[in-house]
Chain A
Amino acid sequence: MEQLQAPEDARIVDALRAGDEAAFTMLVQDWSPAMLRVARIYVPTRAIAEEVVQDTWIAVLRGIDRFEGRSSLRTWVFRILTNTSKTRGERERRTVPLSALDDPVRVPEPAVSPDRFLDADHPNFPGHWASPPASWSEQPEEKLLGAETRAVIDAAIARLPPAQRAVISLRDVQGWDSEDVCNVLGVSETNQRVLLHRARAKVRQALEEYLDAGTDQ
């Protein structure tokens, strides 16, 4: 089955089998942040997510000889992670918000509060901005890139429901493409976009509240 593996994956697997600790450490450091976010979809606390990630790496080492390269190594590792997280989540008696991943469209959630728009029965401009967003191009760069702005984004991401938090972390923080996110989370392209849409909308809103408050003289 060796020939099925991507060259990069085969190289990593060989390094692990050869006991290359540096290669293993790099892999752990590279993938664990994303693994923590995905685990948090299923388990209630950060501390348990850390344990799940640790258990996953142990399972990866135990099972590496069974890795055949049918999927990428990363997809394979994240599948173990997801299974480990689900099992642990059940043990923690946490109701897994499955609908959040499988059917996010079921519960509508506007990207922007309806009171920012004119009513649907407005004679001239139904659904038009009542209070339009300002341009941020005038915002000083030091402010946009400053520590306070980072704290605002951090807090906004922390407040997101776990599935939205996982998707925005993988896509926008880690820079994964949508196909990889769909594979790892087992969601459709459409549902992945819905989760990303809602997550970005909330982070934008948090930024708007912070930046607008600063522009009032």
Chain B
Amino acid sequence: MSTATLSCQELVELVTDYLEDALPPEERARFEDHLERCRGCTNYVEQIRITIALTGRMRADELDSATCDAIVETFRDWSRTG
């Protein structure tokens, strides 16, 4: 049992590969098998999914408006002079 199954400590390191669909089939099967039996790891994967969703709601760090204006100013000069 111990060689064929994943420990929780091993599973958390595979979460991104799992979510990115980068695990080989037999590894994926072991991963899902573990999840079915383990509340802690199920919660962990859920937490990572929520983390991704919440990070996706973050506003991107925007360019300073003065910098943006300066860039557009450059564009005006550029189109004028060809």
Contacts and interface: CB of A to CB of B under 8 A. Distances in A.
Interface stretch (A3-11, A32-40, A76-84): A32-40
Contact of B55 (A24, A25, A153): A153
B9 A36 contact: no
A208 B38 CA distance: 19
Interface string B45-82: 01110111011111011111001101110111011000
Given A114-B9, A127-B7, A129-B8, A54 B60 contact: no
Interface stretch (A66-74, A88-96, A192-200): A192-200
A1 interface: no
A132 interface: yes
A128 B8 contact: yes
Contacts, number: 145
B61 to A, nearest CB: 5
Given A144-B54, A197-B15, A61 B78 contact: yes
Given A28-B71, A207-B51, A178 B61 contact: no
A99 interface: no
A29 B62 CA distance: 8
A54 B70 contact: yes
B33 to A, nearest CB: 15
Nearest to A128: B8
Interface residues of A, number: 58
Contact of A196 (B16, B43, B70, B75): B16
7 contacts: A24-B72, A126-B2, A127-B7, A129-B40, A149-B54, A193-B20, A201-B12
Interface of B: 2, 7-10, 12-13, 15-17, 20, 22, 38-41, 43-44, 46-48, 50-52, 54-58, 60-64, 67-68, 70-72, 74-76, 78-79
Contacts of A203: 51, 55
B64 A50 contact: yes
Contacts of A128: 7-9, 40
A150 B75 CA distance: 35
Which residue, A111, A168, A189, has most C-beta atoms of chain B within 10 A?
A111
